[in-house]
Each structure stands twice: as structure tokens, then as C-alpha cells.
Structure 1
Amino acid sequence: MTPLPPTDAQSVPTPAARGRSLTKVFGEGDTRVVALDGVDVDFARGRFTAIMGPSGSGKSTLMHCMAGLDSVTSGQAFIGDVDLSTLDDKALTVLRRDRVGFVFQAFNLLPTLTAMENITLPMDIAGRKPDRDWLDTVIDTVGLRPRLTHRPSELSGGQQQRVACARALAGRPDIVFADEPTGNLDSRSGADVLHFLRRSVRDMGQTIVMVTHDPTAASYADRVLFLADGRIVDEMLEPTADRVLERLKAFDPDSGGERTAAAGDDTRAAVR
């Protein structure tokens, strides 16, 4: 008997994260602001997604709700098959620690710990031993082996952010959320971090979602989602810095395009 072809449910893997009808409202009455307005979104495994949009478009709110850092007013956010709204605070903390990686603009390293101790900190808190082979792969990919015994004050900004990236990846999370990860870096350090994030997707199968205002940073992604007024209004596959910049100008031709162009010039020069 000829086997039946797989159904859609069998052939399409569950996204690393997804949102359904995500709505987030801040304030009431005259101060009421709808930051997310019924957003549906999937983040496929092993893909690099950038989220862009003008100030106040909801891009950081979307990332925070998808990562379990903030609750939604209505709708559902999933990591794998887990609906975050069904978890109590303790279970949500465990899920974030074990299945989600975070990279922030401010690095968020502990100043008294070495680079290696900062990288393994989440696993140390969880009482888990790192997978040494995987940890070595991450350290070598990020290029930090000579600096592992140094504390953050002894590292450059780019090196500190690479420590933060290694920390996010060391536990082999389902997904890594990065919020403006190059925002505090010079152009060359920013390019180094973006190259590492790109390699982690290409070579290690990581899933990354990055909020950025920089068209050049977005060009490292597999796709770009554009938000406006709390809604996803466009998607671009295989983005380039110039195409992204042109799309952003459509949102705010008088200021948004100029701001993002200036932000992208330094990084673009660094990677030529």
C-alpha cells in the first residue's frame, strides 16, 4: 500500500514562537494606548527575523510579549507549543531561563563575574551543567576564548556584547530575542556582533528575533517585519539595507528615513 503523504500538521514544524491576536493596551480613558492591535505572527525555527518600525509602532512591545517579559491584554503568545498565558510566575521564569535567550542593548553583565562566569550564569542558577561541546562551539564562534577570564570592565563594548550573545546561546534556547543589540556599539563592534548572530543561525540552527532601527542591521536577517500603529503592515524577505531604508521612508518620509539612514551609514561602511 502506498503511504499517504504527510498532512500539513506533520510536514510543517511548529514555529519556535508564535502570536495569535496579540493585543496590548496601556492606560485607560484619555491616556489609553493600543501598543499591539490583534497581531498574528510566526517565527520559524532556524531563521533570523528583524522587527522594524517607527517610534511607538509596537516593535519592542511585541518582542517583550513574545518573550514572556510582559503580559498581553488579550490573545496568545507561544514558545513552541506552550501558551505563556497559562503559566504562573514561577513556571514562566523557568521557561524564560531554560528555553529563551535574551540580548539587550545595555549588555546586562554582572561586573564581578568573569566573561565565562557571565556566559554560564543562567545554567549555574538552574543547577545545570553546560554541554561542553556546544559551549566550546559558541565561545569559538563568538571569538572570546582569549578573554574568558576577564571581567566586563576589562572588555570593550563589543566584547561585552559578544559575551551577552554567548550567554544567550549557551543553554541552546528555542529562540533568542535581541533588543537593539548593536545600539551601544561603534560601527565595527556592531558589525562583529551582527556577523555572529548571522553565523549562529546559519551554522548552529539558532532562531533569532531582533528589534532594530538600523537598516544595515536588518539586512543580516532572513526577513524583516514592519510594524506601524501596533500592526504588522509589511514583510520583506532577503532584505538589503537600501530596500529596508526605502520601505521605512514610506512610514515617515520627513524624519524616519533620515534617522535610519544616518544610523545605518556607519555600520554599512564597516562591513564594506
Structure 2
Amino acid sequence: MSPSELPVSEINDALLAAGLTEDEVNGVISRSAANTLGLLLYGSRARDDYQATSDFDILRYTTSWKSPTFKVGRVSVSSYTREQLKSASGTLFGTHLNRDGIVLLDVGSELTTIIKEIEPANPAILLSRVTKYATILHLPMTEKKAHFSGLVRLARYLLRTAIYATAMTTGQPCFSVRQLAERFNEPRLATILASDPEITGLPSMSLLNELISTLTDFIGPLPQNEFASLEALATAYWDTDRNLATLAIRAGSEDAESIDYSELPKVLL
């Protein structure tokens, strides 16, 4: 074990104290104990507005960019390096971590310091980015049918960001989908944005259409996309907007449901 790594015993005790079962803790440790410098709890479990079925969202601070993002039972683990977390300033995800995140373990307080230094997002800029990336969703029906699984994931990612950013524009930031569903009088938001497939349902064309329709309620019509495929869109933007191109590639991946946006080199939203 490197002197900068967290001992397995400390990881075990911290995760048990956070409420994970022994099986969940063992599953997390077996896949991510090495090169772990810190652990942070975020999401509904950190805000204490969770339901019995809610996931434990764990951020793992690590030295390795090629680290696993995975789920064990009710636990979703996403791995971030120093560079990735530094890129979270000015993003919704960074604002969320700074506002609600609870550091469970930290080598030398480095993770705590990074989280404290994250600058809040500007909601107008966030909505502008969402609108730009929503170009990817404006596709011919044949392309939507071919890649609806990855497109559902992208549409949910963009819609969630748009809703949170809209809440920020009112001066009342909120990161609870259930509370925002009530605030915006959109009860379906709590279902279509849920992370649990048993609640939200499996990806489908009808779910994609619903997500896109709801997204346009918040950002307006999707920007025009002159390209007939995700591949053509990604190729066209590769040199001028690498972020948009990367999202298009991931939306078109055959393995889209296993891809987590924490695996991107930087935080986009």
C-alpha cells in the first residue's frame, strides 16, 4: 500500500458507518480499494432526504484516471482524479458536491480542500451548455431507434442539469428531483429522472421522446442538427468542440448503459 492510500480497514469502517451493508462494503473494497485517497458521500443520502430504495452515491478520490465506475447493490461508486475535480468549478456537479457532499475519508485533507475551493455554477451558462449539447438529440428517427439506449442516458443527463439550473435561477437551489417535481408541478420528473431502473423503466423510444419533450419545456426547441448520424456529428465537431463530439460518441455506444459521465476526462455540466 502506498503511504498516500487509505487503509482498507478505514475504508471498511467509514462505509459501514455511512449505512452500507457488509456485502456492499466488501463489494466496493474488492473493486476500488487500491489508489483510493478519499471518499465522499453525495446525493440524497448526503442531504438526508432519501427513500428506502435510494442509492448511496459515493465519490472515490483517486490517483488513477482509468478507474472503475460501478454499482454494488444500492451503492454507485464514481472515481475522480484531482484534475477532474478541479474541472468541476463552475459546473452543476461541482456546485452539488460543494453544497451537499460529505467527506467520509480523506488523506491529508486534500479532497476536503478541493471540494471547498469549487466555484459555484452560473445557471445561465449551464442552460446555454445544455442547449448546445442537446443538438445531439435532434436526429432522424432511424438514428434514434438505433441508439435510443444511449440517447435516453444523455437526455436524462441534460434534463436533470436543466432542471437544477432553472431552480438556481430562482435563487432557490435544490438538488432533490422529488422536491423539484413538486416545485415545477411536474410529478413525472421524479420517475423519468430516477437512477433506479425499477422506477424509471428500461430505455425505450417512448421514454426518449418523453425526456426530449420535457427538456424542450425547460430550454426551448432543440438546436438544429444538420448531420444524419451521431458518427457524422462527432466527426464534424471533433476538432472544434471535443466535448460535444465525445458526448455524441458515448450516446452512440452499443454499451451506453454501462458508461458513466464520470469517466470523461473533465466535468462538463
Q: Does TM, normalized by the shorter one, top 0.5?
A: no
State the TM-score, normalizing by the size of structure 1.
0.27
Larger helix fraction of residues: 2
Structure having the higher strand fraction is: 1
* TM superposition score normalised by structure 2: 0.27
